[in-house]
Every structure is written in structure tokens, then in C-alpha cells.
Chain A
């Protein structure tokens, strides 16, 4: 990209981006005011953007506009959300915070229900079914892979799943005068599961690193391109 092909907005934006990127990269030498400036600037901009978006995308078109310009039915439908919103705002005052308990309870209830329902219906059951179906006929023999390999993979998956779950079994049993501890099988299984967990964490860490590396690469590329665009015209 060349600086001549960039508009003024883009150019200012690019320049600001360049500066802010450098400010963020100054964290290499440690926490410093430049980094803090960029950090605070980012938080502020993001917060401002969020407020604007929330107003223009939520409050205006779904509450204020129907309330002002909508029909009676629309207004009637707005009555309950409007009351609950008002009650929720009372949480600001400690004296009137008791009034917002209803709205908070509704929000908490709805959120909990959604989360629990989704977790159970969207994750627990399907995943459990999927684990079972690893050895099902739909998987085994499909995809052109060898059945044994598929079975091995399935077994390995199941084994990993079981051992991982065994690791999270904290119940112990006291035998005679010995201190309370797991059984031998459970201890072995938990240890295997601990291995899978460790591998998983490693994979996750790698993924995090890759993600940050990608961001670093992208930012450094930007810097290079900006510099090149400034240095190399056209």
C-alpha cells in the first residue's frame, strides 16, 4: 500500500495505529507510561464505542423509538421491559437497590436457564453421545480409514476422556489406619488423565502462543508496510 493511495482518514488512522502499536510494543521494556496511555486509550475508545452501539442498536430502535412512535401494542409490550429496566437502574442507589432485585433475578434466572440448558443439551448430551458413537457403526468404517485405526482412535479418545474425568474424582476412602487416599486403579487412571490434561493444556498454550504470534506478525507487518509506504512512495 502506498501513502498516496491512502485517504486522509486512512492516513491518520494508519499513523495513529502506528503510534499506538509502538506504544503497546514498549511493554517489552516493562510497564511504562506509554503503554499505559495506549492501554487506557484503547479501553476508553472501546467503552465509548460500546455505549454508542448499545444506544443506537438497542435502546433507540427497541425501546425509545417504539415507545415514542410505536403503536399501543408495541408500547404495551414495552411496559414490562421498561419497568424491569427501571428497577435495574435502582441498583445504583444502595437505598433503592432492593427494588432492582426483581430485574436482577429475572436476568440471573434467564441466564442460568439458558446456560444450563445449552450446556446440557448442547454440550453434555451430544458429547456424551458422541463418545458413545465413537464405537458406533456410523463412525467406524466411514471415512475410508481402517476400522482398527478408527477403533484405536476411538478407544484412545475414550480412554483419554475417562482418565481425564478420573483425575477430577477427589473422593477418597480410608483403609485401616492408613491415611485417606484414592484406590490404586483410580490413582493410575487419574495419573493418565493428568497426562491428557497436561497435553491439553500444552495444546492450549500453543494455540495461545500462535494467536499472539499471529498478532505480533500482523502488527509488525503493519509497521513495516507503513514505514515502507512512507519511505517508498507509490
Chain B
């Protein structure tokens, strides 16, 4: 057995059922009868959408209800259950009898949807001033509802009875509409129908638009709302004009698309019958209302007073032909609309809703939202009849209205406002304003025309709605200041979400209490962030990132939050994510320091090294020498000792020492000089330093005395610049000491010869050229004088060199001696030079034939000569001095030897007694 899934509760139901057995929703949508050609607005829409159901390709632009409607035009045979409407909208599922807020909301949303859809189509179409709103509404009625497909089994019965089927083949039965009860017709609707621009109250302004464009349901007058004439005014809308939503009114068993039967929208006590001619086109299509002129076989509108399906929308109850209870509320304005311009009877004033009767100013000032009292659930939902017969609107005192409401300008009103837009479209010439003239008896109109959703909302809110002190907010008002009775807010705990800065000011204005409201910190924080912090479960709390990341994220967010977009479509917004990621943003890379990472130990060592290097450049102060040091004392002691020893001997002048014997080399000198004659010329080379004149003069004087005693002619020469002077001094000393008188030609002072070795060599070969004159440069000794006939070194009988320097002696030996041939060469030397020159004497062949060295040699030579000279006079002192020196050296050695010996002994035996 086939089953149909309920569009509301999604439960499976038997195929034969029209209403869901669980939620009482209609299982099969109503399908409108396609008796009339498609209206222009539907054709135009179809052209725009390029629907092609044959290929199964549907443009996403066209709503489903329109597509389904068109598909039925093409081929009604192709229609199948699959093409049935889908799940009915929420307002259909909700049921009729349930004052369910959700249902009411659904129905309300559906109303908004169809209205929005209507509005969108209007915007797509080329706007024309002459295009009446009625036509649009008619088109809206004919336009299929955007509802999902559903099978017939899922369409509720009530819906299936009201069908607008454009398909001529499938002619859904139109519920038979009962005669409308004029008494049950709302006053507002009746008034709306009968109002003419010049008739005033109770007359529905005749739309200036083309009659064909005006929906038929609007053409019907108020009286016809409950009568057959009304029923007749409704015509079945062309197949293409039937909206999809009308498919909800598909008759039971009809598998075609459901079309809403406008007659079902009419409400009487049992059902609302609207003349066919009065029905708007969008309600007429597929709608066959049983009326006086109803053709047989046409679908009849149910007129039984059967229980309304639970899922039927509230407005459905007032739909013409619908078997809804008269208690269902139908918008009075809708009823008024149903009454077209053909209506000869104006709508009674008492039937015209207040919001329609009120003048322009009143309309503006009137809050379109229900009054506070109306929101109370205590107030019973006003029936349509009651609403039409009574004052529906209560004029709100101007003191309670805001400035915006007082100065509400229709022209400047927001067109997005539903009611304002609708009003404008319906009555572009302001017919409604003229018609809605407040009558004396209409001053006390009661708001009867309250939508069901509003009523239900009121019931939902409960009794305490009014007690909660809800603010009467006008939709036009932008001013936060509202005048409310102080008692409305007194003693009430204002929720946090209601408390904000503006609310604080409002409340202060209202209550006069300037005490700041307590706002929870969490809410305040959340309010600032625009978010309400929720309580996270523990497991989610554990998954939260670490604080650092969160802080970083918060910082990032803060940065973004603080950055305000200055360009682009998001200008002025804060917290916008940057279009470019931070990576791509050009920025100067972070600079990182190049500091060397060193440890404390490394730094300490580096400091030490640096200090060492710096100290190298610093001049260290020398240690201060003590004024009297041991070395100084030793020097003084030694000096004093020697001086005292020598002075003592000199002062006493007592020979205390024996004159030493003469050595062989000294004897040889004596022999050589003894061999000289008085005619022999002796060359004496005087080459000692003046500093050594004490010793050298003592030794030289002795030998020179012997030469003088032999009467030799002495020629002095010197390679030292002071030599000639020293030579003269020596001669004087010898003359004085030894009582000689050598002078004149016996002494020839040849002066100084330069060139060192070379000069000696040159003098040895050519003495005349090297020393042409004497030292005084007056005589030429080579031609006359003592050196006559002397032309070379060998012409001298004896050569004597007096020097203290061994090199000088060697130089004479090396350069002059070879030129002497066999002539003797004797050396008168200092004690320091004698050891070096002695090999020249001891060698064979002898280069030196005699040596007289030092004081001892001089003393010995004087002793040999038997003469007392300088040497022998100083020999005592000299000997004592030598002795003192020897003693001092010995003592010094001994004193220094003990530490050295002890160190050596300690080195060899380090353990000492321990090793023993």
C-alpha cells in the first residue's frame, strides 16, 4: 500500500488519507483549476524564468510553485504524484485549531514569504504607476507557492478542497462556497469594499488600476464577502496565475497541483463564501465556488462546518470557500480587498478596521503594532465579526507617541515596512486614507484585526506581559525615549540583556530614577564585546588553548579590532580581518641583536686577558733603589781599603816589599838597549791612552832612561793624536827623574800618523813621506837632524812600542815588524797586554825580542839598572795594593762560597737527617 509522508511531521501515512493522522496536516496540496488563461503577470514571470519542465531543467530563479504551475499548463497528463507539491509550508502544517505560537509564526513567515515573493516580483517587473496593487496581489494569488512537492496523501483535506488548478484536464473540485453571511463579514472588509474616493467612510476606494489587473478578491465588496456575489467575484485564476501556495487547497484525491480556492478564504460562521466575481484572480483560478451561478461539476467549496484541520493556517479559515470556522480570523483588510470596485454597497463603517478608517495623521500616528493591552493573553481573540463590528483601533494618545510617530510621513516612510508598502500599493492615491475616516462611533474602535500570530503571541506571553512593563515601542520610532508609566518598571528586575547604556538613559527618563542599574560584570563585558560568554563544559574548557596563545590571539584580535577599515566595502567597521595576510604585509624585519652569548667564566677570562694586555702598555714604575745598598757599601769599603793601603805606603814611603826579579823578556830588552850606541836611532812608538799614563809612564820612563843612558837618538811617533804630547811629557819626566837633559836632536818628535794599520805600514815603508816634519812642524828631521839617512823602518836600530793595548801592539807587530828585517822590536806593555803579546816573544821566529810589562817589570828593570825610578818608588804601594786586592778577593770568594757549597750539599742530599 502506498504511503505518503507528511510534510509536517514527516511520518508515513496511507496514500488515501488527505490529512495526516498524526499532526492533522494536509497531505495533499490543493490544486487550482486552470480555467482561465494565464494572467499577464504570470506570463511575464514565465518568460523571465524560462521554465522547461519537459527536460526537467529548472532555472533556479523561478520558485517552485511557479514552475509547478507552468508544468501543469504544458502537460497536465505528465503530472504525477511526484510533481505534487512538496511539504507544505509551516503555516499549513501547523493546523488551524492549535493556538500554537510556532504555527502562528510559521504562518506568519509564510505570509511574509508570499508577500516578499510578491514584492520581489514587483521589483523585477517594470514598475508602472498605473499598475494597481490589486493586480499584483492577484498575481500573488495566482503565483504558485514555493512549497516542496508532496503527494496527495500528504495534503490535508482542508487544503485539498481549496484548489486553484489551471489545468483544464484536471479540474479539481472547487469547494462549494456557501453564501456568505453578510452579518459575519467583518466590517472592515465590507467597508473596504464599499469605499469610494468620494464616498467617505465605509467605502473602499475604487482602485484606479485597470480592472483586469486588480485582483478579483479585491474587487468584491464587503457584502459579497459572505454572499454568493462575493463568491462570484472570485474567478478561477488562470492556470498561470495561480500561485503555488494555492496548491495547498487541492482537493482530496486530486493529484494535480493544488490551487488555493479563494472562496475558501471567505469566512462565514462556517465558511466564508465570496462571490466568484469578487474573488481576486489569484484566488479565482482553479477555484470553483459553489454559488448561485456555480456550474455543476465544478469543485465545490466545502461548506460544511467540519472541524478545521489542525494544520490549516488561521487565515485559511477566512478564505473564501474554506470550511473554516468563522472564528478564524481573516484579515479585515483582506476582506475589504476582496470587495472590488463593482461592489455597490459600501462597506459599513463599523466593518472597516480602525487602521483603515483613521485619517492620515491618525494612521501615521497609530502604532501598527498591537497595543499593549492587545498583547495580553487575557484578552480574548477577537473574531472577525467582532472585529469588524467594533472599533478595532484605539487611538493612541499623542502623549504616548513619539515624535517620529507624530510626524510620520507616509511618503517618507520606510517602504520596507510591510504595511506601509502594502497600503501604498493597494491605494496609491490614498483612497484608504480617505476611507478610513474616523467616525464618532469609530473613535472607539477596538483592535479587532489582530493577526492570529499576534494573538497567539499574546497568549504565549501569558498574563504577565503587561505586568512586565514592556515598552510600547513604535516601529517608526527611533527615539529611545518612551513614555511609560512609572509603575510599569517599578519593582521589576530588569534583565541584563535589556540593560545597556541607552536603556539606562531610557529608564532614567521613564522612571526618573538616576540610580544606575546593576549590570553584571559578565554581561557588561560581553556587551562591550558584543558577545555573551557561555558556560563552557569542562571538556571544552580543557581544550581551550593556553593563555599565551589566547592572549596572543586576543592581542591580534585587539589589533584587528582596533583597526578600522578605511577603504573598501567594509569602511568604518572594526575587527575586520585584514584582506592581506600579515605575511604579505611589507614590514621591516625584526632586528635581532648580535650580542655574543658568553658565560660568566668566559667573561671573567676575557676580562683578565684584557687587563693583561692593557698592563703591557702601561709603564711600570721601577722599584725604588735604596739610597744605601749592600753593593754600594761594598764598593766603598773596598775603595777605602785600597786607598788606605796605598796611602799608607806612600806616606810612610817605606819599602815594604821586595823588588821582584826581572823576567827573561825584560832582560832581553836590557841587553838590546845595552847594544845600542849613541849614534843609533831608536824609534819609540808611544801609543798608550792618557788614562794609563801612570803605569805606562813608570815603565816607559825606565826604558827611556836606559836609552838615554846609552845616548841613542830617540824618535817618537804615535798613532794616537795625544801621543806626541805624551811623548814630550815622558821625556820631561825622565829628564827630571833620572837627571837627563835629552833635547835637541837627540829627541825627535815625529808627531802623529793617521790611518791606523795602514799608517804604520806606510810609515814602515816610507817614514819620510808619512812624517815629513817634526811635531812642531819646524824642522825636517830626515834631511838634517837625528834622522838623517833614515828612509825605512829598518834604518832604525831599535823600535820600541809603548802601549797598554794589545791590539795596538799586535798592529805594530804585524805591520811594522816585517819591515824591520832583523832589527829588534821591543814592547813596553801594560800588565793587561803582556799575556797577549807574550807569544810573539816566545814564538819562534820571534817577532818581539823583548817585553817589559807592568810595574813589576819596571821595578825589576830599574833594579836591573840599579836606578830608582817611579816604579820602585811606587812598588811598595803597588805591592800593598795588590795584597789588599788579593785579600779582598779571597774573602769575597770565601764568603760567597759557603752558600754555594751549602746549596750543592743540600741538592745532593735533600732529605738530610730524614734519609738517615
B1 within 8 A of A: no
Interface string of A98-124 (1 = CB under 8 A from B): 000000000000110011001101110
Is B775 close to A, CB under 8 A? yes
Query: Given A123-B810, A207-B833, A216-B881, A29 and B855 touching (CB < 8 A)?
Result: no
Asked, given contacts A28-B639, A208-B832, A224-B647, whether A46 binds B722 with beta carbons under 8 Å apart, the answer is yes
Interface set, chain A 12-64, CB cutoff 8 A to B: 28-30, 42, 46, 49-50, 53-54, 56-58, 60-62
Question: Which chain A positions have C-beta within 8 A of B651?
Answer: 224
Hey, which chain A residues are within 8 Å of B758, CB to CB? Answer: 110-111, 114
Smallest CB–CB gap between B649 and chain A, Å?
Answer: 8
Report chain A residues within 8 Å CB of B882: 210, 213
Report yes or no: A57 in contact with B843, Cβ–Cβ below 8 A: no
Among A28, A127, A207, A214: residue with most chain B CB under 10 A:
A214
Given A30-B632, A209-B885, A214-B698, the answer on whether A58 and B752 have CB atoms closer than 8 Å is yes
Of listed A110, A114, A119, A123, residue having the most chain B CB within 10 A: A114
- Known A57-B752, A114-B761, A211-B692; contact A121-B814, beta-carbon cutoff 8 A: yes
User: Which of A54, A122, A214 has a CB less than 8 Å from the CB of B854?
Assistant: A214
Once the chains are docked, how many angstroms separate the CA of A194 from the CA of B870? 38
Q: Which residues of A contact B839 (CB under 8 A)?
A: 127, 130
Measured in the bound complex, the distance between the Cα atoms of B640 and A213 in whole Å is 13
> How far in angstroms is the closest Cβ of chain B from A131?
8
Q: Which residue of A lies closest to B839 (CB)?
A: A127
In the complex the two chains form, is A61's CB within 8 Å of B878's CB? no
Cβ-closest chain B residue relative to A201: B835
Provide the bound-state CA to CA distance between A130 and B843, in Å. 5
Instruction: Report the minimal beta-carbon distance from B657 to chain A, rounded to whole angstroms.
Output: 12
Question: Once the chains are docked, how many angstroms separate the CA of A136 from the CA of B844?
Answer: 9
Tell whether A206 is near chain B: CB-to-CB under 8 Å.
yes
Question: How many residues of chain B get a CB closer than 8 Å to chain A's CBs?
Answer: 68
Name which residue of chain B comes closest to A157, CB basis: B842
Q: Is B725 an interface residue (CB 8 A)?
A: yes
**In angstroms, how far is the closest chain B Cβ from the Cβ of A232?**
12
Contact of A111 among B694, B757, B814 (CB under 8 A): B757
Residues of A with C-beta under 8 A to B842: 130
A204 interface residue (CB < 8 Å to B): yes
Q: When the two chains form their complex, are residues B811 and A118 in contact, meaning their CB atoms are under 8 A apart?
A: yes
Contact for B817 among A61, A119, A122, A207, CB less than 8 A: A122
Q: Is there a chain B Cβ closer than 8 Å to A217's Cβ? A: yes
8 Å CB contact of B756 from A50, A111, A211, A219: A111
Q: Which chain B residues border A218 with CB–CB below 8 Å? A: 693-695, 697-698, 870, 874
Residues of A within 8 A of B873 (CB): 221
Query: CB within 8 A of A220: which of B650, B691, B817, B855?
Result: B650
| Chain A interface, number of residues (Cβ within 8 angstroms) | 53
- Least CB distance, A213 to chain B, in whole angstroms: 5
Chain A residues lying within 8 Å of B814, measured Cβ to Cβ, are: 118-119, 121-123
Which chain A positions have C-beta within 8 A of B853? 207
Hey, what's the 0/1 contact readout for B40-66 against A, CB within 8 Å counting as 1? Answer: 000000000000000000000000000
A47 to B777 Cα, complex, angstroms: 21
- In angstroms, Cα B773 to Cα A18, docked, is 35
For A210, what are the chain B residues with a Cβ–Cβ distance below 8 Å? 695, 831-832, 854-856, 878, 882
Task: Assess whether B275 is interfacial by the CB under 8 Å rule.
Answer: no
User: Which residue from chain B places its CB closest to the CB of A66 in the assembled complex?
Assistant: B772
Q: Is the CB of A126 within 8 A of B847?
A: yes
Most buried by B among A30, A129, A208, A211: A211
Query: Does B899 belong to the interface (CB within 8 Å)?
Result: no
- B751 to A, closest residue via Cβ: A57
Interface string of B744-759 (1 = CB under 8 A from A): 0000000110101110
Q: Are A50 and B844 in contact (CB under 8 A)?
A: no
- B754:A54 contact, CB within 8 angstroms: yes
Which residues, 786 to 838 on B, are CB-close (under 8 Å) to A? 804, 810-811, 813-815, 817-818, 830-836
The B642-675 residues at the A interface (CB cut-off 8 A) are 642-643, 646-647, 650-651
| Complex contacts, B811 vs chain A, CB 8 Å | 118
Of B722, B810, B854, which is within 8 A of A53 by CB? B722
Asked if B835 and A57 make an inter-chain contact with CB atoms under 8 angstroms apart, the answer reads: no
Kindly provide the distance from the CB of A107 to the nearest chain B CB, expressed in whole angstroms: 9
Residues in B whose Cβ lies below 8 Å from that of A133: 843-845
Output the residue of A119, A122, A206 with the most chain B CB within 10 A. A122
Closest CB-CB distance, B860 to chain A, in whole Å? 14
User: Smallest CB-CB separation from B806: which chain A residue?
Assistant: A204
In the bound complex, do residue A211 and residue B854 qualify as a contact, i.e. CB atoms below 8 Å apart? yes
Q: Does the CB pair B752–A216 fall under 8 Å?
A: no
Known: A54-B721, A110-B758, A118-B757. A129 touches B845 (CB 8 A): yes
Is there contact, CB below 8 Å, between A207 and B835? yes
Say whether, besides A214-B695, A215-B691, A221-B877, A122 and B847 are in contact (CB < 8 Å).
yes
Listed from nearest, the 3 A-B pairs whose CB atoms lie closest are A130-B843, A218-B694, A122-B814
B-side interface residues toward A, CB under 8 Å? 632, 635-636, 639-640, 642-643, 646-647, 650-651, 690-695, 697-698, 721-722, 724-725, 751-752, 754, 756-758, 761, 772-773, 775, 777, 804, 810-811, 813-815, 817-818, 830-836, 839-840, 842-845, 847, 853-856, 870, 873-874, 877-878, 881-882, 885
Other A-B pairs, 5, CB within 8 Å; known A110-B758, A122-B847? A57-B724, A133-B844, A200-B835, A214-B874, A224-B650
12 contacts between A and B (CB under 8 A): A53-B721, A57-B724, A57-B751, A61-B777, A118-B761, A126-B845, A127-B840, A131-B843, A207-B834, A213-B642, A221-B877, A224-B647
